[in-house]
Chains A and B, each alone.
Chain A
Amino acid sequence: AQSVAQPEDQVNVAEGNPLTVKCTYSVSGNPYLFWYVQYPNRGLQFLLKYITGDNLVKGSYGFEAEFNKSQTSFHLKKPSALVSDSALYFCAVRDWGGKLIFGQGTELSVKP
């Protein structure tokens, strides 16, 4: 069965520092991987996806993610964090039937 895991419930970063939100996946076959962000009291917003091609994927709001097949990881990164990046981040994998299977979420807190 397809699954993703986000090993950190919370990540704390100082504004201006680089941030990483971790995700590992377990799939049979080629993975279709996604990152979504949920701001307080809002629905999820799509950030980026990896389907095929370059391992470094660029997305919205300056975020990027690196697909690493050997480590089965798809970590979300940003070179310089903003306070406004504080939110709940979800990694997801898409199964063959089209379902998105989400990780448990990581709360990112960026302090000034």
Chain B
Amino acid sequence: DTAVSQTPKYLVTQMGNDKSIKCEQNLGHDTMYWYKQDSKKFLKIMFSYNNKELIINETVPNRFSPKSPDKAHLNLHINSLELGDSAVYFCASSQDRRSYEQYFGPGTRLTVT
């Protein structure tokens, strides 16, 4: 069974559209994260939720809105997509907010045309 899963794996869409990426973890973890990896492979955290509560909110355009319906799911909704949003988005989870090890999903490659 996949520990941290993301859907879709690939997403191609046009500028101005709204899209969502879903993430689920079956590890029983309390804390989940969204990271963005740009074309140069640079990886940066965007958001973190602990037990459905937002605890980390980096300097991200407010077109990006995370939602955590329960502690096993963390979705990322993006409004009015722009070319610069093209990247690979990774979801991750950890036992709790103090845990050192994070478990990453396989990534969603978003291409905005």
Contacts and interface: CB of A to CB of B under 8 A. Distances in A.
B103 A46 contact: yes
Interface in A85-112: 88, 90, 94, 97-102, 104-105
Question: Binding site of A, secondary structure by majority: helix, strand, loop or mixed?
Answer: strand
B103 A99 contact: no
B56 interface: yes
Given A43-B90, A90-B43, A98 B97 contact: yes
Interface in A29-66: 32, 34, 36, 41-46, 49, 51
Contacts of B44: 102
Interface residues of B, number: 23
Nearest to A32: B100
A104 B42 contact: yes
A99 B98 CA distance: 10
Contact of B40 (A42, A97, A104): A104
A97 B105 CA distance: 22
Interface string B27-63: 0000100000000111111001000000110000000
B100 A34 contact: yes
B106 A49 contact: no
Contacts of B42: 102, 104-105
B15 to A, nearest CB: 25
A44 B100 contact: no
**Interface size class, chain A:** 20 to 34
Contacts of A51: 100
B101 interface: yes
B4 to A, nearest CB: 7
Contacts of B45: 99-101
Interface in B43-86: 43-45, 48, 55-56
B48 A43 contact: no
6 contacts: A43-B4, A43-B104, A44-B102, A49-B100, A90-B43, A98-B97
